Structure 1
Amino acid sequence: MCELHESGIEWIGAIPSDWSVGRIGGLYSLRNQKVSDIDFQPLSVTNKGIVPQLETAAKSNAHDDRKLVRVGDFAINSRSDRRGSCGISAYEGSVSLINTILSPNGEMNPRYYDWLFHTVQFGDEFYRWGHGIVDDLWTTGWQDMKRIIIPIPSVDEQEKIASFLDKKCAEIDLIVSDLQSQIDAIEQHKRSLITETVTKGLHDVELIDSGIDWVGQMPQTWISIPNKYLMYKVKNICPVYDGEDILSLTTNGVIVRDLDAGGKMPTSFDGYQRIKPGNLLMCLFDIDVTPRCIGLIKNHGLTSPAYSQFVMKEGAYAPYYYYYYLMVDYTKELLHMAKNLRHSLTEDQLGAIKAPKPPYDEQVEIANYLDAKCEEINAIIGEKALQLETLEEYKKSFIFEYVTGKKEVPST
């Protein structure tokens, strides 16, 4: 192992004694040629590198407002909210003006610097050199970026490190991919279990047609009934904020917004409503972009006027209908009915949509069964998600230690 010495640069720390440091501007030159995306293939700069323009990318009619990218150039998004979006281009094309395009100078191994520029530590340093009014509009231009100091190993060492990280990180990525596939399969099993249970019940009984397309057949002792006979909307407007918890509807349910962990306090409480445990919370606006449209309220607090709070009528059990509408939300059935431009439903439209109504005791039985099963499944998913998180953190640390020479590439 080569002896280490302090680089004198805080974000880099110690490096091998035979390495040097230098500014990015000495290694790269700026390519700042404007071109048209009609003449040059439009590309996107992502955290997975440079790819053909994504369907989700914001597009403009100003076709000439693009920057030229040549094969082998390094492109990096200058905005802080796109941290980690960078890479070596395998394409000739054009990218958004918000990106900085760099052409390598002299002899180097660009793959080594690609690994270095993807580290969290470089991302923090890149951000530190930026300017802006607010965090999410913070940008780091070339005039500042070129002054950032980075480690400079020999070209042979750059090649060794890049090749080693290519191989080892590919192995880690395979494990990550396998774990993610396992999580996806377990999540799909949970969805299937919920669908089967809320539409067919827990007992082997004769089935009849429900008359509801996404339900199909249901037990003969159940009925199909419009939602307006199952629940009604309430809106308990909050006249003044008095320190209550702020609740949000998320993919993890109706949760208390953690203001200490970066959750934002509303700028205004106009229209905010008090909500009560045991009621349903639904999002009926912009259903096409809402990650989750249904939640079961478990805490007192305040929530956005964008949500609708429903109280169950006699004979309807909120936890059963939470699971039922969770099933509906998985396949976005409500979205198919929201035909207006805002992809939204009114209370009356929701009230007219039919839902199954099992006998009340069965609703309770189904909800209790799914509570227990989903708790077991979520524990397994949580364990695998923790493994994923651990692997991702290990990979980040692993890369940084090798690109800064704190660990030496094995000779075999």
Structure 2
Amino acid sequence: MAEHPAYPVGLRLTGRRVVVLGGGQVAQRRLPALIAAGGVIVLISPEATPSVEAMADAGEITWERRRYTEGDLTDAWYALIATGDSEANARASAEAERHRVWCVRSDDADRATAWTPATGHSEGVTIAVLTTDVKGRDPRHTAAIRDAVVEGLRDGTLVARHHRTRAPGVALVGGGPGDPDLITVRGRRLLAEADVVIADRLGPRDLLAELPPHVEVIDAAKIPYGRFMAQEAINNALIEHAKQGKAVVRLKGGDPYVFGRGMEELLALAEAGIACTVVPGISSSISVPGAVGIPVTHRGVAHEFTVVSGHVAPDDERSLVDWPSLAKLTGTLVVLMGVDKIGRIAETLVAHGRSPDTPVALVQEGTTAAQRRVDATLATVGETVRAEEVKPPAVIVIGEVVNVGLPAAQAPQPS
């Protein structure tokens, strides 16, 4: 038997008797998967770890607090033998053989009739890895292979495309602040499975270069708008491609719902009857200051931080921001999309009570290789932006946390 590799098979244990002998660490590791498989699990052991005992208390398993006796494997479909008594293990293994019960032994794999593979899960798929080298079994090697496959499927570096017909759908994916490594695992996986990607200028552009050649990449800034508003044209493009049965990813910078107009797109898709998944992203309002060593909150300095859009000036009738109230706050103010308006914003804050000496940091192209930080105060920031030629995209941090953080020369650098 030892000359041949194990035959891999998936056991369907729902409603079937499974016997586990021993309540130690091996049982603690294996029981959750057996419970998830729906087995009717009987644990036979005089003692158990606290975690195993909790499973019994919750009614997930039946615990008989005694040692193994002949006949315990009657009517069992599967057995896990993991006691510290080698003689009892041998007797139980022999009983399993007589009753043709597939049996795993933690103490002697060569005498077992079944082996437990290294398993992992990703999006409804179970990955199970078994060695074919029966004379040199290496559990750590099989576990490493399992981990590599699961990680690759989860982060999108290992692409396994679906071939069955899928319902039309769109994923609104927050790509994070710019560094491609800062997209979420789920976002990267959905990107790898996409047929069409409609990307913002501020999305992590480096990820687009990794997509397979068949993926259609559409620059949202270059969609022909015709008689439509820009956002309306993007909505229509999402709907059109999804109705063709394609997997569509709308790749956005930061988070879809933080000044990303994600809800507008979600509502348009819902009205068209298109299923939509929203994948949150790391917002630049927090991550970009952190990338240059500035915490948006700090004990004894700032107990709150406020994120506002600066795309319209404080005196613009379209502005929804209560700038006089913001000027009275003592915490951190983070301004997005405000580079060309920061001079007027600073003047408004000072006019309503904020000190002109309040420190300001402008972080351009945060988390990318082009990242740079420029420091100023509310009194000088307007002129500083002009003199230093600060360009969007840039995150502006206003408050004492700017001085709490590391000086620009000592701040962390993007990798």
What interval of TM-score do these two structures reach, taking the shorter chain for normalisation? under 0.3
TM-score, normalization by structure 2: 0.25
Pick 1 or 2: higher relative contact order, CA cutoff 8 A, min separation 6. Answer: 1
